[in-house]
Amino acid sequence: MTRSYRRVDGRKARGDRRRTEIVEATLRVIEAEGVIGVSHRSVAREAGVPPASITYHFAGLDDLLVGTLTWSAESMAAEARDLIESSRIKGSNPAAAVAEMLAFAVGPRRGRTMAEYELYLLAARRPELRPAARMWLDVLTSLARHPDEVGFRAFLAGVDGMLMQGLIDDEPPTAAELLPVVEHLLAPLR
């Protein structure tokens, strides 16, 4: 009997892990210092790797920022996909799930959300970041598979607004406070 094994390239797996460590470190630098604090040295220090490792995986700072924003958008889209699927499977109130996700984003995960939004807004000044910035909207729109695409995009714009408002509030809103707004935004889509 012959067994078939899929050969795993350990170098590629290590490289992928290192790349992820670098983009996560970049987000932590942005969280602490803003995009202005991102340099090869600051990210290398945060990631605990030599600066040459940064330039090995990312040709320049713009590539690093694009890579970080892309990774972040993919992560946000995966979280949203999981939330949508979990809500469907459980038959639970999707508005409550969205309100909890938003409250978490502007509460316990506030710093990370600020870092992601800072990158997201940087796309207005740097065209090379725009495809990555639009990615999460495109993924979410495709996940929802809603016949009212305009209404769904309006809902996503409302979510962006709630996140921005939550980030500038002195006290982040709770899921209970966000729920009526989310329900209102979802009402036309039902």
pLDDT at residue 9, as a whole number:
64
pLDDT band at residue 19 under the 50/70/90 scheme:
very high
How is residue 151 written in tokens?
């209404």
pLDDT at residue 138, as a whole number:
76
Q: In terms of C-beta density within 10 A (0-12 exposed, 13-18 middle, 19 or more buried), how is residue 4 classed?
A: exposed
DSSP letter, residue 109 = T
How is residue 96 written in tokens?
């409550």
3-state secondary structure at position 151: helix
How is residue 126 written in tokens?
């740097």
Model pLDDT for residues 113-146, shown as the tens digit of each residue: 999 999 989 989 989 888 888 887 776 776 666 6
Q: Is the per-residue pLDDT at 190 higher than 80?
A: no
Model pLDDT for residues 73-107, shown as the tens digit of each residue: 888 878 877 887 787 788 888 888 889 999 999 99
| Nearest-angstrom CA–CA distance, 136 and 69 | 10
27, 68 Cβ separation under 8 angstroms = yes
| Nearest-angstrom CA–CA distance, 101 and 79 | 9
pLDDT band at residue 187 under the 50/70/90 scheme:
confident
Alpha-carbon 93 to chain mean position: 23
18, 57 Cβ separation under 8 angstroms = yes
